[in-house]
Chains A and B, each alone.
Chain A
Amino acid sequence: MSKKLKKLSGAPKRDYFSYLLVTAAFILITALNGGGLLSKQMQGLLVPVCCYIIMALSLNLTVGIMGELSLGHAGFMSLGAFSGVVVSQSLITAVPNDALRLVISIAVGAVVAAFAGFLIGLPVLRLRGDYLAIVTLAFGEIIMDVINCLIVGHDANGLHVIFNFRGDKTVADLDLAEGGVAIIKGAQGAVGTKTISTFTAGFIIILITLFIVLNFIRSRTGRAVIAIRDNRIAAESVGVDVMKYKMIAFVISTTLAGMAGALYGLNFSMISADKFNFNTSILVLVFVVLGGLGNMLGSIIAATVLYILPEALRGLQDYRMLIYAIVLILVMLATNNPKVRNLFLRIIPKRKSAEGGTAK
C-alpha cells in the first residue's frame, strides 16, 4: 500500500533533490565565507535570505497547497520576531548559551505564531477568495498596530508589559527595578537586542521547514487539503472536514512563519513592527508566485534570487526598485501570456524536454 502510494504521489525524487540542493548551497556558501570571499554586505544578507526562504515555503503552503490568498503573512513573522526577541532578552542571564537560547526563542516564536494562526484562522478560514484575502490583510495591519503599542521590559521581578494605546506612556512607566532592561519600546520596536541568529541555524530551520512541508503534502492530511483546493464541494461530499484540514494547514504555515520571524528578529539589534508591513507580505507572495505555486524548490530559488537582486543592484541606486518592478512585470507577462511564452519556447526549444527529464 505504502509503496503504491509513493508511486502515486510521484516518487519524491524531487524532494531529495531539494534537500540536496539546499545542503550543497549551504556548504558552498560556508566554504566561500570561510575563504573570505563574501563581502560584508553579502554576509549580512545570509540570515535574512534564510528567513525569507522559510517565509516563502510557509506562504506557499497557504497559497499554493491550500489555495487561499494570504496578504498578511508578515504579521505572523512579526509575532514570531517580537516574542522571540522578548524571550531571548529575558533569558540572557538564565540561559547564557547563545545556541540554546536561540532554539528556545524560536520555539516560543513558533508557538505564539501558531496560537495566533489558530485564533485568526477561526474567522478567516470561513471566508472565501478575495474576502479571505482582505481579512488576512486586515489582521496583518492589526498585528502591526498592536505591536507598535507595546512597551515591554524585563527585570529581576519578571516581565513588565504596557499596552500604550493612547500614546502617552513611555519606558519610564514600566517601573523597572535596578538592572532591568526595556526590550520593546513601542513604535521604536525592539532596541538593543543581542544578535544570536546564525547562518547555520537558518540552514537547519530551512531543512526542518522543507521536511515538514514536503512530508505534509504527501501525507493523508496534505492530500485532503489539496483535494479541498482542487474542488471544495467534491471534497466535502466525500466526507473531508474542510474547516479542520484548512486549519491544520494554516496553523502549520503560521508556525513556520513564526520560526522565520524569531530568526529574523534575533538577527538585528534593532527592529520595529513597521518592518513587517503589507509590503513585506507582498514581497513574500511575489517569491511564492514567481517560484511557482505549490513548488517548494521554486520558492527557495525565487526567494534567494529576488531577495539578493535588489541588493545586488544597489550600485544603480534609485533605479534598482524601478528595474525590480519592470523585471517583475516582464516575468509575469513572459510566464503567463501564451504568445510571449511561445516566443520563449521557440528561442529555447529544449527547455520543455529538459524539465520533463527531471520530473521522471
Chain B
Amino acid sequence: MEFLSYLISGLNLGSVYAIIALGYTMVYGIAKMLNFAHGDVIMVGGFISYYALDAVFKKSGLPFWFSAIIAVVLAMIVCTVLGVLIEGLAYRPLRAAPSLAVLITAIGVSYFLQNSALLICGAQFKTYQSIISGTLNLFGGGLSIPYVSMLTVVVCIVIMVGLTLFTSKTKMGKAMRACSEDKGAAQLMGINVNKTISTTFAIGSALAAIAGVLLCSSFPILKPTTGSMPGIKAFTAAVFGGIGSIPGAFLGGLLLGIIESFAKAYISTQLANTIVFAVLIIVLLVRPAGLLGKYVPEKV
C-alpha cells in the first residue's frame, strides 16, 4: 500500500513535470532555444489563478467548481498573452542571433517576471487553495488518492494526446513540424514562420498556466520563485525523453516524477534531486539524444 501511494504521488508530480516539459519541448523543437522563462510563466499562472479564484468565489457567490474553471481559463488567457508578448518583444528580434544571446535574454525575462511578481505580490508566500479537494479512499482507508492527483494525471494524458493529434493532423501542427525541420524551406512553402512560432509560444504558455494551477493545487506554496525548480526539472524531463519529441516529454516527465517520489521515500529526501539528475546523466550516456529522441549523425 505504501508503495502504491508513493507511486501515485510520483505520477502526480510526474504529470505536472510532463505538462511543463511538453511546453518546453514544443518551444525548443521549433525555436531551438532554451526558454528559461517558461518556469516563471508557470508561476504567473499560479498567481493569476490564485487571485482570480479568491475574487470570483468570494465576490460572486458562484459555486466553487465554477469559480475554479473561471480562474483556470483566466490564467490560461493571461499566460498565453504573456507568452506571445515575450516572444514578440524579446525573442523575435534575436531570431538571427547566436543561441547564447537568446539564452541570456531568456534569463533576463525570467528575472524580470520573478521580480515583477515579487514587487506586485510581495515576498510572503501564499497558501494556494487547491482547485479540487478531498481524497478517494480505497481498501478501507488503506490507500487514499487525492482527487487532485487523479485530475492531474487525466489532464496530462488529455494534453499529450491532444498535442500529438494537433501536430500530426492540423494544418498549423504540420506547419510547426515543418518549421522545426527547416525554417527556410518552410517559408518557401508559404508557411508564415513568425506566426507559427508565436502560436507555439501561445500553446506552450497556456500549458504552463495549467501546469501552474495543478502544481500549486498539489504543492500549495506559491511565491515568486515557485516556478524555477519545476522549470529546471521539467527541462531535465524534456531532455531525458528526447528534447523536441512530444511522447518523449510525456514519458520523461512521468519517469522523473516517479523516480523523485521513490528516491524521497526510500533513499533520502536530501539527495532526491541528486538521484534524479544522476539517472538523467546515466540515460544520456547510454542514449545521447534521450529516451525517444532522434539521433542525427553529423554529415560532412
Tell yes or no: B182 within 8 A of A by CB.
no
Partner of A333, one of B105, B228, B270: B105
Interface residues of A in 118-145 (CB under 8 A from B): 123, 126-128, 130-131, 133-135, 137-139, 141-142, 145
Q: Which residues of B contact A332 (CB under 8 A)?
A: 94, 97, 101, 104-105, 108
- In the assembled complex, which residues on chain A have CB atoms less than 8 Å from the CB atom of B269? 167
Chain A residues with CB under 8 Å of B235's CB are 134
B285 within 8 Å of A (CB atoms): yes
The interface residues of chain A lying within 8 Å CB-to-CB of B69 are none
Say yes or no: is A211 at the interface (Cβ < 8 Å to chain B): no
Does the CB pair B232–A278 fall under 8 Å? yes
Among the 9-residue stretches A42-50, A218-226, A286-294, the one with 4 or more Cβ atoms under 8 Å from chain B is A286-294
| Residues on A with beta carbons closer than 8 Å to the beta carbon of B90 | 329, 333
Chain B residues with CB below 8 A from A282, complex form: 107
Determine if A123 and B281 form an interchain contact, defined as CB atoms under 8 angstroms apart. yes
Shortest distance between the CB of B279 and any CB in chain A (Å): 9
> Once the chains are docked, how many angstroms separate the CA of A340 from the CA of B290?
38
Contact with B along A141-152 (1 / 0, CB 8 A): 110011011000
Is the Cβ of B243 less than 8 Å from the Cβ of A130?
yes
Q: Contact: B270 with A164, CB < 8 Å?
A: yes
A233 on the interface (CB 8 Å rule)? yes
**A138 near B236 (CB under 8 angstroms)?**
yes
B135 within 8 A of A: no
**B112 to A336, Cβ gap below 8 A?**
no
Interface string of B88-122 (1 = CB under 8 A from A): 00100110111011011101111110111011000
Per-residue CB contact flags for chain A residues 319-338 toward chain B (1 = under 8 Å, else 0) read 10110111011001101111
Q: Are B277 and A338 in contact (CB under 8 A)?
A: no
Residues of A within 8 A of B281 (CB): 123, 135, 138-139
With both chains docked as a complex, state the minimum distance between the C-beta of A149 and any C-beta of chain B, in angstroms: 5
Instruction: Report whether B289 and A142 are in contact in the complex, using a CB–CB cutoff of 8 Å.
Output: no
Contact B104 A286 (CB under 8 A): yes
Most buried by B among A149, A164, A233, A336: A336
Chain A residue with the shortest CB-CB distance to B105: A332
Complex formed: what's the CA distance from A170 to B255 in Å? 33
Task: Tell me if A289 and B96 are in contact (CB < 8 A).
Answer: no
A251 sits at the interface (CB 8 A): no
A108 within 8 A of B: no
Select which of A123, A233, A290, A339 is within 8 A of B285 by beta carbon.
A123
User: Which partner residue on chain B sits nearest A340 by CB separation?
Assistant: B93
Contact at B116–A322, with CB atoms within 8 Å?
yes
**CA of A233 to CA of B298 in the docked complex: distance in angstroms?**
9
Asked if B185 lies at the interface with its beta carbon under 8 angstroms from chain A, I say no
A79 to B280, CA, bound (A): 22
> Binary interface profile of A, 95-134, with partner B (CB < 8 Å = 1, else 0)?
0000000000000000000000000000100111011011
B104 touches A290 (CB 8 A): yes
The answer to whether residues A142 and B274 also contact, given A131-B288, A134-B280 and a CB cut-off of 8 A, is yes
A128–B288 Cα gap in the complex (Å)?
Answer: 8
Assuming A233-B300, A278-B232, is B105 touching A329 (CB within 8 A)? yes
1/0 per residue, CB under 8 A from B, across A72-110: the answer is 000000000000000000000000000000000000000
B280 x A339 contact (CB < 8 A): no
A292-332 CB contacts (< 8 Å) to partner B: 293, 318-319, 321-322, 324-326, 328-329, 332
Say yes or no for B278: interface residue by CB 8 A criterion.
yes
Among residues of A, the one whose C-beta sits closest to the C-beta of B123 is A318
Min CB distance A131 to B, Å, is: 6
The reply on A214 being an interface residue by CB < 8 A is: no
Residues from chain B with Cβ under 8 Å of A205 in the complex? none
Quick one: given A165-B268, A329-B112, are A138 and B104 in contact (CB under 8 Å)?
A: no
* Beta-carbon nearest neighbor of A69 in chain B: B100
> Is there a chain B Cβ closer than 8 Å to A259's Cβ?
no
Of the candidates A63, A328, A335, the one whose C-beta lies within 8 Å of that of B108 is: A328
A322 and B270: CB pair below 8 A? no
Q: Does A7 contact B (CB under 8 A)?
A: no
Query: A252 an interface residue at 8 Å Cβ cutoff?
Result: no
4 further A-B pairs in the complex, CB-CB below 8 A; given A123-B281, A145-B271: A69-B100, A130-B239, A329-B108, A339-B93
24 of the cross-chain contacts (CB-CB < 8 Å) are A126-B288, A127-B284, A134-B235, A134-B284, A141-B232, A142-B277, A145-B271, A148-B270, A164-B270, A165-B268, A165-B271, A166-B270, A285-B107, A286-B107, A289-B104, A322-B115, A326-B108, A329-B108, A332-B97, A333-B90, A335-B101, A337-B93, A338-B96, A340-B93
B residues apposed to A, CB below 8 Å = 28, 34, 90, 93-94, 96-98, 100-101, 103-105, 107-112, 114-116, 118-119, 228, 232, 235-236, 239, 243, 267-271, 273-274, 277-278, 280-281, 284-285, 288-290, 298, 300
9 residue pairs, one from A and one from B, having the closest CB atoms: A138-B277, A328-B108, A325-B111, A336-B97, A325-B112, A329-B108, A337-B93, A322-B115, A145-B274
